Amino acid sequence: MKRPTKDTEESARRISRRAALLGGVQLTFAGVLLLRMRSLQLGQADEFRLLAEENRINIRLLPPSRGLILDRNGAVIAGNVQNYRIVLVREDAGEPRAALERLAQLIPLTPEEIERAEREILRHRPFVPVTIVDQLNWEEVARVAANAPALPGITPEVGLTRFYPFGAEFAHSVGYVGPVSERDLEARENPDPLLMIPRFQIGKIGVERELEENLRGSAGHRRIEVNAVGREMRELDRQEGDPGVNVQLTLDRQLQAFCLARLGEDSASAVVMDIPTGNILALASSPSFDANLFVRGISVADYAGLRDNDHRPMSNKTVQGAYPPGSTFKMVTALAAFEGGFATPDERIFCPGHIEISDRRFHCWNRGGHGRVNLVSALSESCDVFFYELAQRVGIERINAMATRLGLGERYDLPLSGVSSGLNPSREWKRERRGAEWVVGDTINASIGQGFVLTTPLQLAVMTARLASNRAIVPRLVHAIDDVEQPIADQPSLGLSPEALAQIRRGMWEVSNSNRGTAYSSRIVDAALRMAGKTGTSQVFSITTAEREAGIRRQDQLPWNRRDHALFVAFAPDTEPRYAVSIVVEHGGGGSSVAAPIARDIILAAQSGGLPPLEAYPAPQRNRIESMIRTISDQIGPPAEPNPGRSRA
């Protein structure tokens, strides 16, 4: 088919026109692309650069090392040790179950631990390192490291964990740390991001908890580059955090250990205070427990053992335990009477063994009576009737006020958990809390530290220190934070009449130094170390009529938890008081037979700065005492080695 040339030329021109037209459109479109690139790459470059950096850079927190807790001499009582743990990366390890079974041939792993580890591994992305066991000892880590070629994706790592070299000795006062729990997070309004770190340790009780902010320190961080699925590619930079600051306590490790060992298996507590400063030198609550158990998360069996023990090992009895002070309260009653002018220190009162008040008979502990007693002999022989008489004259208001002056009923501001205020009862208190009027019988009971009165062992030590010094001694537990010495509280004079106080001290002296004193057998013969004290035997339950008929006459015939509490408060040396001690042995029986010997040993240990000197004891007792001291000194070991291996439940 032939076409005229004109037509073909025309169609060729048309093609050119159309090509030019479309070429123009294409160029325009290219221009649009160019403008778009310009606006994105030049106009909004910074914005997109920022977004790209946000994509790329993740910030990971670096946990700071926790501040140390030291005793008054600088011994570390809460430190950090390297914690060896085993970390598994799923993508390198392959099938988790098989990898864990292989690992279990090297280190002890219970089936439930394997189960838990497997669950945790599968919850994370395959490249995320998951800690499967920690708190391994060096030997176990070495075994894993030596077998590394057979264990792909399983690596030992090292971090820091809390360690308490003295295990049980400071478990109540210093407390312990543990992994952050949901409750810990809920309790905080704006939790430190550090707390979100898995297995981060936080103070749970005691000083560890109360001074958490000081001890924790602040997080460091490292900036890492991650890819789209969050895998770490490399570290960009790293800034170490500030470690927590050290806290030095007033506690004396040696004395604390002695106290705990001396209390032994009893459910008991001991407080030793330095009178001039108010420093608490020992705060022992028995039985105790190994604080290290909680650091790694306590096993159910261990926890159940502690929880179900009727001696309440987890309770810090020195500040949480509130006991009827018994006869150790008699100094309060006596001072209230003398200060109010209701009696003179020389006044003598006849004790027939009981007293009748509003048709009720109140017995003296000595049913036969003490005859005529004055303050000194009433204290040393612990005559109850003398104080019943005084109490009737002064009334509860003055007793209550004197107790307050001597530091009872006060909740001391110490970095300890569950500090109790005890109970210093008054008319108002009874009306409000019990909905009943105060009756004179209540005052009689209160006068000998029974009835409503409750005191903590710490309060008793404070009371003793105040009696010994006539100053408002305040207990002090923290000596320095970050090497900055903490101020000693003002100790204004109590303004008690020196004569009355002298008589009280004389009475207390006779308790442990006069052969009629209730604690004469616990006397100290070294004149420079002599102590003055007061026994207390506080009734928890009276022996019921039924029991009496069943032939139960004595305390040791009763079940343990119905027996009396044994108490003793003391200060020493008698001439220039330096140390105040309070001992409470729960259901221990008599204060003179049980609590006073303990107090003597402890106050001697405090004064000697080591073990009690044998020559301070009366000669006939020395043989017995010597073997006891040897037993105790055997129990006071050196600081424990960290990483004792994995505890098995």
Partner 1 sequence: MSYLEYNVKHTPTGLSKVLYINWVLVILLTAVACVGFLQLYSVAGGRFDRWAEPQMQRYALALGVMFFVGFVPLWFWRSMAGLGYAASVILLLGVEFFGSVGMGAQRWLELGPIRIQPSEMTKITVIMAMAAYYDWLDPRRVSHPFWVLVAVVMIAAPAFLVLKQPDLGTALLILGGGGMVMFFAGVSLWYFGGVMAAGAGLITLVFSSRGTDWQLLRDYQFRRIDAFLDPTLDPLGSSYHINQAMIALGSGGWSGRGFMQGTQSRLNFLPEKHTDFIFNTLAEEFGFVGGVFLLTLYIAILATCVIAAMQAKNRFAALLILGIAGNFFLYFAVNMAMVMGLAPVVGVPLPLVSYGGSAMLMILIGFGLVQSACVHRPRERA
Cβ 408 vs Cβ 354: under 8 Å: no
Nearer to partner 1, 49 or 116 (CB): 49
Q: How far is the CB of 235 from partner 1 (least distance, A)?
A: 14
Minimum Å gap between C-beta 13 and partner 1 is 10
Closer Cβ to partner 1, 40 or 649, answer by number = 40
8 Å CB contact between 511 and 517 = yes
DSSP state of 416: -
Residue from 34, 59, 146, 527 in contact with partner 1 (CB under 8 A): 34
Instruction: Identify the H or E element spanning 478.
Output: strand 478-481
Q: For residue 523, give the 3-state DSSP assignment.
A: coil
Q: Which residue has the tokens 């005890």?
A: 422
CB of 279 to partner 1, least distance (A): 58
CB of 224 to partner 1, least distance (A): 11
- 28 scored as a contact of partner 1 (CB under 8 A): no
Q: Rounded to an integer, what distance in angstroms lies between the CA atom of residue 529 and that of residue 603?
A: 9
Between 53 and 499, CB nearer to partner 1: 53
Calculate the dihedral angle through the C-alpha atoms of 16, 22, 28, 31, rounding to the nearest 10 degrees: -80
Which residues pair with residue 372 across a beta bridge?
350
Least Å distance, CB 237 to partner 1, is 16
d(CA 165, CA 290): 10
Tell which one of 48, 350, 541, 560 touches partner 1 (CB under 8 A): 48
Shortest Cβ distance from residue 40 to partner 1 (Å)? 4
- The interface region with partner 1, picked from 25-33, 377-385, 604-612, 628-636 by CB under 8 A, is 25-33
8 A C-beta contact, residue 85 and residue 134: yes
Q: Is 647 helix (H, G, I), strand (E, B) or coil?
A: coil
Select the residue interacting with partner 1 from 24, 47, 115, 122 (CB under 8 A): 47
Query: What pairs with residue 100 in β-bridges?
Result: none
Closer to partner 1 at the Cβ: 14 or 411?
14
Q: Write out the binding residues for partner 1, residues 202-231 only, by CB under 8 A.
A: 225-229
Least CB distance to partner 1 at residue 47 (A): 7
**Residue 24 C-beta: closest distance to partner 1, Å:** 11
Our finding on whether 361 is near partner 1 (CB under 8 A) is: no
Residue 354, phi then psi, degrees to nearest 5: -160, 170
Q: Which region, judged by CB under 8 A, interacts with partner 1, from 11-19, 99-107, 324-332, 586-594? A: 11-19
Structure tokens at 105: 């041939």
Question: What is the distance between the alpha carbons of residues 131 and 198, in angstroms, rounded to a whole number?
Answer: 10
Of positions 15, 236, 525, 649, contacts partner 1 by CB under 8 A: 15
What is the longest distance spanned by two Cα atoms in the chain? 157
Give the footprint of partner 1 on residues 86-105 (CB under 8 A): none
Crossing angle of helices 440-447 and 384-405, in 10° steps, is: 90
Instruction: Kindly state whether residue 16 participates in binding partner 1, applying the rule CB under 8 A.
Output: yes
Taking the C-alpha atoms of residue 122 and residue 102, their distance in angstroms, rounded to an integer, is 17
Which of 30-38, 204-212, 246-254, 256-264 is the region at the interface with partner 1 (rule: CB under 8 A)?
30-38
Confirm or reject binding of residue 59 to partner 1 (CB under 8 A).
no
Dihedral of CA atoms 535, 628, 263, 528 in degrees, nearest 10, equals: 50
CA 129, distance to chain mean position in Å, is 34
| 557 near partner 1 (CB under 8 A) | no
**Which residue lies nearer to partner 1 by CB, 31 or 94?**
31
Of the pair 45, 304, the CB lying nearest partner 1 is at 45
Nearer to partner 1, 35 or 185 (CB): 35
Q: Does 148 bind partner 1 (CB under 8 A)?
A: no
Q: Check: CB of residue 113 under 8 Å from CB of residue 134.
A: no
What is the nearest approach in angstroms of partner 1 to the Cβ of residue 223?
13
Question: How far apart, in whole angstroms, are the C-alpha atoms of residue 567 and residue 563?
Answer: 13
Binding mask 499-518 for partner 1 (x = CB under 8 A): --------------------
Decide: is 42 part of the binding site for partner 1 (CB under 8 A): yes
Report yes or no: 137 and 644 within 8 Å, Cβ to Cβ.
yes
Task: Note whether 6 binds partner 1 by CB under 8 A.
Answer: no
User: Which span sits near partner 1 by CB under 8 A: 28-36, 247-255, 282-290, 574-582?
Assistant: 28-36
Structure tokens at 103: 């690992």
The CB-of-6 to partner 1 minimum distance in angstroms stands at 11
| Residue 50 vs 649, nearer CB to partner 1 | 50
Of 19, 148, 196, 525, the one binding partner 1 by CB under 8 A: 19
Task: List active site positions.
Answer: 327
User: Which residues, 6+ apart, have CB-to-CB distance to 230 below 8 Å?
Assistant: 58, 125
Closer by beta carbon to partner 1, 237 or else 490: 237
Q: Among 32, 148, 525, 649, which residue interacts with partner 1 (rule: CB under 8 A)?
A: 32
DSSP 535-595: EEEE-SSPPPHHHHHTT--SGGGS-GGGSPEEEEEEEESSSS--EEEEEEETT---IIIII
CA dihedral 519, 522, 527, 533 (to 10 degrees): -40
**Interface with partner 1: number of residues (CB under 8 A):** 46
Is residue 9 within the footprint of partner 1 (CB under 8 A)?
A: yes
Q: How far is the CB of 115 from partner 1 (least distance, A)?
A: 33
Q: Which of 3, 367, 554, 648 binds partner 1 (CB under 8 A)?
A: 3
Per DSSP, what are the bridge partners of residue 584?
A: 269, 567
Strand residues in 227-305 grouped as ranges (E): 232-239, 242-243, 247-249, 268-274, 280-286
Cβ-based nearer residue to partner 1, 6 or 553: 6
Binding-site string for partner 1 from residue 227 to residue 256, where x marks contact by CB under 8 A and - marks none: xxx---x-----------------------
Q: Is there binding between residue 51 and partner 1 (CB under 8 A)?
A: yes
List the one residue from 27, 59, 98, 304 that touches partner 1 (CB under 8 A).
Answer: 27
SS3 for 45-75, per residue?
HHHHHHHHHHHHEEEEEECCCCCCEECCCCC
Q: Please report, as ranges, the residues that interact with partner 1 according to CB under 8 A.
A: 1-3, 5, 7-12, 14-16, 18-19, 22-23, 26-27, 29-30, 32-34, 36-38, 40-42, 44-45, 47-49, 51-53, 55-56, 225-229, 233
